[in-house]
Structure 1
């Protein structure tokens, strides 16, 4: 169980949550929802013990499995398999058993060999108590269902993409949670922030079934409506305007109906408040002309201003980012070309001999299974990495814009304002303030470190940098991840209207349909083909 009392969360001076009590018990499967920037990720971090509340207390009486949005840093030299097995301590046990086996076969001295045999027996007994080879098989099954092939599991974490590392971490958490122990059920509470990111359709379907059957407790942040509809039995709605959390003890579909009813009620209350404010202002204007009524008139005017200020805050919460890519800078016929690109990490070959030419205004989708090198190709084209062989050539007038799915283009230690100044050094300050305002960054939030933003807010900031660049070639790596539905639709509209060239990597079929691509590149072979809707079914598998 997790219990939070008197919880207050802040981002700078902005109150995200005020004097709130939360409880997560076995059997609870809670969907934590709210608009981007409302504080969902911050709430999950604090519940997991990886962030401190401004006020209040969090008590944890269960094992936790926490999946953050951003990949965790750590020892990247261990293999993916060992990272998963470490959830139950099986990785070190297996290594120690291998060492004991080697000693048993190689030692000549009888006493030393007997000592190694006894050590192996103790290790094997401990291994059996943790589930033994059945547990190892269970870990392999979980990994396979999350699209982690044996060759990936054998690789060091440093050779994996951010998406692969995140799936390894998800596999590790689910492996720990599947340990039912003596009670016959798992007591682990899962705290999952966008767990379906980087998963293909089959893996998402499997994950829904796993979470639906989990008995230990769950809080999930997700924009996957089907997952919420199938899994959750409670909904926490984090209201960014009021700094409060509304608790709905019901399924997702019933929550949507209840929420719509609540919103209608609030709109009626808002309209009534506007009428009252208007009446107070009119009465204050009449009384203000009389000296004996001046104090009463001022009080009425002040009450009207307070009512309207509250209504302005409510309207601000309903705003969405206005994303529109500007007209691209002039360029030659083929602003970007690549020839003979190859990339390997150690002995692992990602792809070899990839050629492509990005013509002015062309739209290209890159497809391939997870680990085929889609992100790596964009990083090579964007100059973030160097190819092992081959070259990337800039054509006449190339102005490149790169959106990285892990937000590597942002300086997480710098503020929102410092980031946008770095991304657009030649743009005037007021123009940049207006731009940030259209992406819903205003006031004190401009001074907020980028690393403290939610995943959706980081996406908006990175996209604001692209908008300011007037790029004529956009390299977009999963640009709709972490976005609420309204913000996602804005990105899709921007893609529809953009007249420059785009190279897109995505698992989102809606993004592909909005782009209306002419060509497709299939990795790892680097095969190029004209786009047809026959490829659309591969997008979520890629």
Structure 2
């Protein structure tokens, strides 16, 4: 369907990748994987036709449609949510208007034998063929179905897009993209800012209703659920696996083991050959053998072992000061903004050492409850923090609170204590701050880099209650694994607000569900909760 042929990309004399070739077939579900900076987003933009390669080309048949959802975008503020989403059908509406205009013109013209008249007939015939090839669609019903699936309420439809956060605007763009029913959907981190229910709906849509899909995502469960093929970008080339992400990891491990064995054997042969050359280069009877081996070494292709991420540093939180038995006790707590009730008469108790997750649709009060615990908002009802509770808080805007005048190294050096000070560069390296990155000022860092730096700061502070509000946005899988392992070993109490199922799995042992203006306690882990929740979702859909 779509072919990528010998594509090469260079930036400032440095080759990002070269001789990249593969085909995307109908109904392929592809995960595009690789380390940060390997070139995944660049390759996706080339397939989308947004960027041009240094050499090589991408062939997309004229009748095929490719749609691309970038990580960051801006939605115009002049339309309502429903109007903006309906723009997905603009091309069809324009085609219908053009057909009507030409037909109107044909009825009033009388130059039936002229070339101009014949051209109009040809044009309207061609347009009509295209228009009537599009299956009959109830456009308004389609827009409504997609918007509700992505988490919007009907009451949101007539609100201006300007009233919504960047994450919700991203969903509007995603809705427009899905409604176009393209032959290839390209998604770059689509699940950032989406709640668990919306992600599940998107998974179901991509599996059952979409054509070909290529996705870049750090949400391991999402990638595993929707993809059956994995293309890895590494060290300037690609490897193509007919396997989902978790199976690809095992295949990659085997590949690297074989590469390492071949590399070791080649290096041994090179060493032996050089020893022979050095030993006999002055010996007349061995001259031809020496020359032959020198030429052989000159022509030898050195086996390369694919880069292995050596950043798997084991991080541990400092020992937690002991808190009271119940770090957080909430009694009959209610919060409203004017007429809008967020939740009413909420009760929850978090015991010392528990690791709990706050889950639910966006806007149902998860972050509001966190702000109440932090004392950042007023509320009705009771909220008691236990004895000697010391809170470490990671807010969604935590990155914006960093001192921009400091360097990366200075930011961590200012809070590191004891032996940890000797490991600052190792810790920074684990979070992908290598080489000269440590001397960069915070003000020049990207949003993702600031998020990682803010997370390191939190890891090093001695606290006994950690509250993390969407901590994994902008983090790659390796970094998430490092943080998850550190949180598992954390001996204090943990409250996690997250839509990342893979991150929560094996970490949160209890779930508080926010929805319908109340907070419900579930004693299952996230897997048990989701199994139950999927059944509830079916009833929810029936009610709607």
Scaled to the shorter chain, the TM-score interval is: 0.5 to 0.7
State how far apart, in whole Å, the 2-side matches of 1:14 and 1:444 are.
Answer: 17
1:67 equivalent in structure 2? 69
1:527 to 502, 505, 519: 519
Q: 1:12 to 1:361 in 2, by over 3 A?
A: farther
Residue 525 of structure 1 deviates from its aligned partner by: 3.8
Q: Is 1:135 aligned with 2:139?
A: yes
Residues 253 and 513 from structure 1, CA distance in 2 versus in 1: closer, same or farther, beyond 3 angstroms? closer
Q: Deviations over 1:504-526 (max 9, x none)?
A: 12345554453354673644645
Select between 257-266 and 271-280 the one with higher mean Cα deviation: 257-266
Q: Is contact 1:341–1:387 with CA below 8 Å preserved after alignment?
A: no
Q: Is the 8 A contact 1:39 1:454 kept in 2?
A: no
Residue of 315, 323, 333 corresponding to 1:324: 315
**Relative to 1, partners in 2 of residues 1:73 and 1:15: Cα closer, same or farther, differing over 3 Å?**
same
Judged with a 3 Å threshold, the aligned counterparts in structure 2 of structure 1 residues 417 and 442 are, in CA distance, closer, same or farther, namely farther
| Number of the residue aligned with 1:104 | none
Q: Which entry has the higher C-alpha Rg, 1 or 2?
A: 2
Q: Distance in 2 between matches of 1:309 and 1:472?
A: 50
Equivalences, count: 476
Task: Describe the superposition over 1:349-396 as per-residue Cα deviations: whole angstroms up to 9, x where unpaired.
Answer: 43356576766544332132343132444456568xx53646999885
Q: Structure 2: how far apart are the matches of 1:229 and 1:337?
A: 37
The aligned runs of 1:347-362 (5 Å cut-off) are 348-351=340-343, 361-362=353-354
Preserved contact between residue 150 and residue 201 of structure 2 (Cα < 8 Å): no
Tell me which residue corresponds to 1:101. none
* SS state at 1:514 partner: coil
1:246 matched to 2:239? yes
Aligned equivalent of 2:173, options 149, 169, 176:
169
Structure 1: 5+ residue runs without aligned partners? 94-127, 178-185
User: 1:43-65 CA distances to partner (integer Å, 9 max, x unpaired)?
Assistant: 32444456676777667766442
Q: How many Å separate the matches in 2 of 1:414 and 1:8? A: 39
Partner of 2:108: none
Deviation at residue 191 of structure 1 after TM alignment: 0.8
Paired position in structure 2 for 1:368: 360
Map residues 173-322 of structure 1 onto 2, 5 A cutoff: 173-177=177-181, 186=182, 188-196=183-191, 198=194, 200=196, 204=200, 207-208=203-204, 210-211=206-207, 213-215=209-211, 217-222=212-217, 235-238=230-233, 240=234, 242-247=235-240, 250=242, 252=244, 256=248, 262-276=255-269, 278-279=271-272, 314=306, 316-322=307-313
* Secondary structure of 1:191 counterpart: strand
CA contact (8 A) 1:31 1:236 kept: yes
Mark the CA change 1:19 to 1:38 in structure 2 (over 3 Å): closer, same or farther.
Answer: same
Structure 2 residue ranges without an equivalent (≥5): 95-130, 538-544
Query: Could you give the per-residue CA deviations for residues 269-291 of structure 1, whole angstroms, max 9, x where no partner exists?
Result: 2231342355467668979999x
Matches within 5 A, 1:430-445: 431-445=423-437
- The TM-score with structure 1 as length reference comes to 0.66
When residues 360 and 207 of structure 1 are mapped into structure 2, their CA distance, relative to the original with a 3 A threshold, is closer
Q: Distance in 1 between matches of 2:84 and 2:440?
A: 34
The CA deviation at 1:497 is: 0.8
TM-score of the two chains, using structure 2 as the length reference: 0.66
- Structure 1 window deviating more from structure 2 (263-272 vs 225-234): it is 225-234
Provide the residue aligned with 2:153 in structure 1: 149
What displacement does 1:402 show? 0.2
Q: Give CA deviations for 1:417-442 in whole Å, capped at 9, x if unaligned.
A: 83564466334886432211233431
Q: Match for residue 128 of structure 2?
A: none
Structure 2 CA distance for aligned equivalents of residues 193 and 341 of structure 1: 38
Change (3 A) 1:234 1:521: closer
Change (3 A) 1:154 1:208: same
The CA deviation at 1:400 is 2.0
RMSD: 5.4
State the alpha-carbon separation in 1 of the partners of residues 30 and 335 from structure 2. 45
In structure 1, the residue matched to 2:414 is 425
